[in-house]
Structures are given as C-alpha cells and as structure tokens.
C-alpha cells in the first residue's frame, strides 16, 4: 500500500445481492442470466441476522443487509482474536436509511409529529451500519462511514487497507451497503434520467440508456498479512493499493475524456508499485449510462492502450447498488481470481462503435491466468475510486 507499509490480506467475504446471497450463489448469478424483475434481495429474513424481531425492526434495511454480509465475511475469516482497539469497521453507503426516513415523513404528515418514531435518527443515519457491526462484534478501533455516492464501496476498502498498512489496525471489516429502492428514491433517479427507461443494463453498448437500480451489501475482512499468517487464516487475495481523486467538474456528469478516472487509476497503480502493463483484468464501473461508460472507456484507452487488458462490468447482472457496488465488485474480482475465469458483461453483445475498442468480456465467462486487477468506481459529485487486488 505504501513504502514500508504492511501487506494487506483478504481473509473473508460476505455478500447479499439480487443475484445471490453468499459468495457461491453470487458467483453463480454473475455467470448466469439477469434476475427477473427488480434487482432486490429477495427472500431476505432480517430476524435471522438479529437477536430477535424487535431488534431487527429497529434497524433500517440498509443496516440489516450490511450485518448479514459482515457476518458471512467474519465466519469465513475464522477465529479473529487480539486487541479489539486494533479492529476497525468501515462500511460505506451512498444514501443511508432512506426507507425509514420516507416512512416516517409519511407518518408525520398523516398522524402528526408525536407519532414519529424515536428510532428515526439511529435508523436513518448513514453510520448505523458501521456502528451496528462494531457493537455486535465488540470491535473498538476506528469505526467510520464513507459516503461518496457510487464510489463509496471502493473508497471504504482502499481506506481500510490504509489503516492496516499504516499500522493503525490489524483487522478491518470493510465494504458497502445500500437499500435505496424506495418510492421517492427511485422517482428521483428516474426523473433525472439516470435510470434505464427499459430496465436494461447494457454496459458499453450503443443502446445503453441508464443504470438499473439495485440494493445489497458486501463486506470484506481485511487483515495484516503477518497477523493472518500467524493465526493460520486462509488468504484469498491481496490488496496492493488504491486511490481516490475528484473530477472537480460537475455534480453528476464525469469530467470530459475521463481525465478524473485516468488520474485515479494512474495513482492507484503507482501506490501499488506496478506498471499498467501488469494489469490482467479491469473490473469496470460500467454503469450503462451514456456519459459514464464513454468517459471510462476513454480513460482505459489512455492508460492501457487498445485493446488493453480484458474488461468486464458485472452490473449487467447485479444492477447498480450505488454505495455497495464497489464492494460487490471487489468480491467479484477475488472470486474471479480464485475460479480463474472472468465473468461476462451480461446484456452487451458488442462495444459501442463510437467508444474506444476495449476488450470487453461478453457472451460467456473467459478463462484467464489471474494477476493484478484494477476495480473502478465513479460517483456523483465527481468522486473516483480505484482498487488494485492480486491473486495469491
């Protein structure tokens, strides 16, 4: 991560997504057909995650999903011991508990102020997912929330890895969560024409017309390499580095030519100590929006040349889960390395001829020799995030 810094291992993965809950089901979903209907997490029972039904009701869905994913990741990571002051939590969200907020606003207008729930604030606050995980696990180190729109999940993992590399933490639960498919939230995205009018996600395709909104959560357990080795943990992947930049251009549109995305990827590679030629896969942000896909493709051409390394966007299957997307895609990268195949960009049959001719993986999973992979996330506000992972 930095000169002289500690190596950062990935030792646990947990995911709750529209195409599958649990890593195996998630992977199977990535290599299949898009789930029918809305990209929601179906058949999710929050009472299985919390101690009782009352406790579950006092947590917004965004927190419920986060805790479910975090518990999976910790179970896979195994027996984590040590000083709880050196165990951190960093879970991102783009929106937070908007479901609770909308519900309570309706109650306020229909029934009056006195009927508004006293749990409104702790349920809607964006830091509730991180706080809930830290309290459930007794982890007393840094406990923070990143809220940088659609770049948040990637930023959380990059920042958490820096906590470990710098020596502040030995273990961090890092990821993202989102449950913004509410009536008002969906209407807002629809009316700003960010979402597909056909409910189709087609990253980098000529006919792309917007993203398909989704919900879900993904959490990774990151651990100092020496600590993981000492306790005999199974190391799944290594975080080499990452970066964050700002376009400083427009509240929703990416900078022309993808200059912010390019600089972010360039800095992430420098932080990882590798050259662009070492990258063997790009997990693209690839939202299926006209401007974002064009900017990212231009940035990829500038950094890697053409055709460049294989590129994929899993959003053709998962939809766009906003602040959780980067964490979901980090898990897709780790599993791609472990299974030695790159999942296809479902919904796209050819790259838009007006875009640079990137090597987009389409049609079927592509076998590959795992190696350094960069995963991109770009968010409203001009937030850019890039994460570099490698196989072990």
CA distance 345 to 312: 5
CA atoms within 13 A on the CB side of 375: 31
Question: In what helix (H) or strand (E) does residue 222 lie, and over which residues does it extend?
Answer: strand 216-224
Can you read off the two tokens belonging to residue 122?
């702790």
Q: Write the Ramachandran bin of 30: left for phi over 0, alpha for psi from -120 to 50, otherwise beta.
A: alpha
pLDDT reported for residue 1:
60
Residue from 146, 141, 168, 169 nearest 157 by CA: 146
The DSSP code for 199 is S
Annotated active-site residue 109? The verdict is: no
Residues in the chain: 392
Contact of 87 with 80, CB cutoff 8 Å: yes
Domains 8-237 and 241-390 in one fold: yes
DSSP-derived 3-state class of residue 223: strand
Backbone angles phi, psi at 143, to 5 degrees: -135, 105
pLDDT reported for residue 36:
82
Contact of 56 with 369, CB cutoff 8 Å: no
Architecture of domain 8-237: 3-Layer(aba) Sandwich (3.40)
pLDDT reported for residue 247:
97
Domain regions of the chain by residue span? 8-237, 241-390
Tokens 């460049």 label which residue?
Answer: 308
Give the fold, CATH level 3, of 241-390.
Answer: Peroxisomal Thiolase; Chain A, domain 1 (3.40.47)
CA distance 331 to 121: 31
Residue among 87, 155, 320, 383 flagged as catalytic:
320
Omega cis (within 30) before 28: no
Contact of 113 with 182, CB cutoff 8 Å: no
CA distance 387 to 392: 16
Annotated active-site residue 320? The verdict is: yes
Residue among 150, 169, 264, 383 flagged as catalytic:
150
Instruction: Output the CA angle 189-191-194, nearest 5 degrees.
Output: 45
Per-residue pLDDT of the chain (392 residues; tens, 9 = 90+): 655 699 999 999 999 999 999 999 999 999 999 888 899 999 899 999 998 999 999 999 999 999 999 999 999 999 999 999 999 999 999 999 999 999 999 999 999 999 999 999 999 999 999 999 999 999 999 999 999 999 999 999 999 999 999 999 999 999 999 999 999 999 999 999 999 999 999 999 999 999 999 999 999 999 999 999 999 999 999 999 999 999 999 999 999 999 999 999 999 999 999 999 999 999 999 999 999 999 999 999 999 999 999 999 999 999 999 999 999 999 999 999 999 999 999 999 999 999 999 999 999 999 999 999 999 999 999 999 999 999 99
pLDDT reported for residue 140:
98
| Global confidence as pTM | 0.97
Residue from 225, 276, 246 nearest 388 by CA: 276
pLDDT reported for residue 369:
98
């Amino acid at each position: 991560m930095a000169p002289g810094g500690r190596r950062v291992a990935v030792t646990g993965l947990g995911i709750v997504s529209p195409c599958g809950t649990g890593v195996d089901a998630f992977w199977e979903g990535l290599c299949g057909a898009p789930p029918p209907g809305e990209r929601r997490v179906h058949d999710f029972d929050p009472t299985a995650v919390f101690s009782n039904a009352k406790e579950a009701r006092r947590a917004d869905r965004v927190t419920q999903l986060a805790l479910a994913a975090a518990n999976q990741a910790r179970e896979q990571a195994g027996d984590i011991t040590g000083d709880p002051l050196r165990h951190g939590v960093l879970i991102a969200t783009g929106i937070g508990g908007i479901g609770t907020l909308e519900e309570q606003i309706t109650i306020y207008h229909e029934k009056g102020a006195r009927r508004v729930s006293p749990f409104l604030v702790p349920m809607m606050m964006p830091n509730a997912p991180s706080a809930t995980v830290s309290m459930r696990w007794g982890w007393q180190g840094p406990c923070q929330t990143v809220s940088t729109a659609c770049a948040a999940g990637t930023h959380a993992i990059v920042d958490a890895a820096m906590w470990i590399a710098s020596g502040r933490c030995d273990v961090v639960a890092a990821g993202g969560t989102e449950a913004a498919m509410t009536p008002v939230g969906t209407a807002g995205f629809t009316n700003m024409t960010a979402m597909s009018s056909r409910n189709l996600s087609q990253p980098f395709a000529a006919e792309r017309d917007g993203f398909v909104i989704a919900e879900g959560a993904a959490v990774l357990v990151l651990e100092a390499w020496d600590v993981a080795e000492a306790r005999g943990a199974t190391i799944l992947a290594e975080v080499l580095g990452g970066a964050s930049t700002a376009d400083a251009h427009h509240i929703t549109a990416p900078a022309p030519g993808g200059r912010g995305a390019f600089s972010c990827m360039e800095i992430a590679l420098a932080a990882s100590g590798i050259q662009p030629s070492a990258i063997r896969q790009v997990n693209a942000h690839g939202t299926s929006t006209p401007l974002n896909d064009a900017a990212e493709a231009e940035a990829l051409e500038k950094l890697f040349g053409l055709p460049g390394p294989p590129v994929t966007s899993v959003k053709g299957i998962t939809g766009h889960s906003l602040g959780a997307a980067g964490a979901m895609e980090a898990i897709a990268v780790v599993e791609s390395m472990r299974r030695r195949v790159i999942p296809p960009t479902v919904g796209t049959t050819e790259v838009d001829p007006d875009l640079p001719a990137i090597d987009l993986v389409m049609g079927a999973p592509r076998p590959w020799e795992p190696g350094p992979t960069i995963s991109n996330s770009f968010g409203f506000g001009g937030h850019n995030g890039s994460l570099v992972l490698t196989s072990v």
